[in-house]
Amino acid sequence: MATELEYESVLCVKPDVSVYRIPPRASNRGYRASDWKLDQPDWTGRLRITSKGKIAYIKLEDKVSGELFAQAPVEQYPGIAVETVTDSSRYFVIRIQDGTGRSAFIGIGFTDRGDAFDFNVSLQDHFKWVKQETEISKESQEMDNRPKLDLGFKEGQTIKLSIGNITTKKGGASKPRATGTGGLSLLPPPPGGKITIPPPSSVAISNHVTPPPIPKANHGGSDADILLDLDSPAPVTTSAPVPVSASSDLWGDFSTASSSVPNQAPQPSNWVQF
C-alpha cells in the first residue's frame, strides 16, 4: 500500500544519448569504450532519470513520441546496475530489465561532458538522500524502542516549593517590610496618617520686643540676692499687654515715657542708662 502512494519524481533529463551493443567483459579489469563502435551507435534518443521511493530508474525514450525503449532500475549507486568505463568519463554501462525479469548490459554515451556529469551527480544525490532517510528511520525506531520516562506524579505523591524568604502564618502570608536606600527599614506612619501641629503660644509678644526681666521686690536683701535672681529664670506673667503708642517711633522717647509716670519709684536694674 505504501508503494502505491509513492509518487514519481524526475531527477534529470538529457535530450541526446547514444546506445551501443557491447561485447562481453573479457576480464575483471572493467569495460573500455574504445572496444565499442563509437561512430556507429545502435540507437539514439532521450534519457530521463526518475525516482519512486528509494529506487531510481534510467529510462531511454524516443525523442519525438516519448515511447519507452529500455529501462534500467537502480537500487544502489555505484553498483552493478550502473558502471563507469575505464578510459572515458562520457560513457557508462547500464543493466536494462524488462517486465519478465530478463536483463542485459548496454553501453550509453553523451556527446557533451556536462551531460555525463549531470547524469552522474543526479544518481549520487538521490542515493545520498536515501542514505539519510534510512539513518533517520533507524534513529526513530530506536527512540520508540527505548523505555519512556514517566514524569507524572504517583498517587499520593507531593512536592514542596521554597520561594525566597516568604513564610506563611495562620493569619496569612506575611507582608514584606519596605526598605529604603542602604537597606534601612522605614518607620511606619503615625495612626491616622496626619501630622499634629502644636498650638501657638499663649504669650503674645508685641512687635517682637522681648520685655526685660522683672526683679523681685527688695526686702532688705543684699547684692548677692540680686545676682541669684539674675541666675534664676524670669517668671512669665500673664498680665495684659501694655498698649503701644500709635506713634511712628516704636521705641518712643525715653524722657517722655519717664515723665508720664511721675510717681513711680525708681527700681534697681542691670540695664545701662543712656
> How many helices and strands in the chain, by DSSP H and E?
4, 9
Q: For residues 33 and 35, what is the distance between their CA atoms, to the nearest angstrom?
A: 5
Mean pLDDT for the chain overall = 74
What is the predicted pLDDT for the residue at 167? 56
Residue-wise pLDDT tens digits, 80-122:
999 999 999 999 999 999 878 889 999 999 999 999 999 999 9
Q: For residues 154 and 176, what is the distance between their CA atoms, to the nearest angstrom?
A: 36
Residue-wise pLDDT tens digits, 192-226:
655 556 665 544 444 455 555 555 544 444 554 54
Exposed, middle or buried by CB within 10 Å (0-12, 13-18, 19+), for 77? Answer: middle
State pTM to two decimals.
0.51
Q: Which helix (H) or strand (E) holds 172?
A: strand 172-173
Q: Which residue matches cell numbers 534510512?
A: 134
- 241 Cα distance to chain centroid: 79
Q: For residues 38 and 131, what is the distance between their CA atoms, to the nearest angstrom?
A: 36
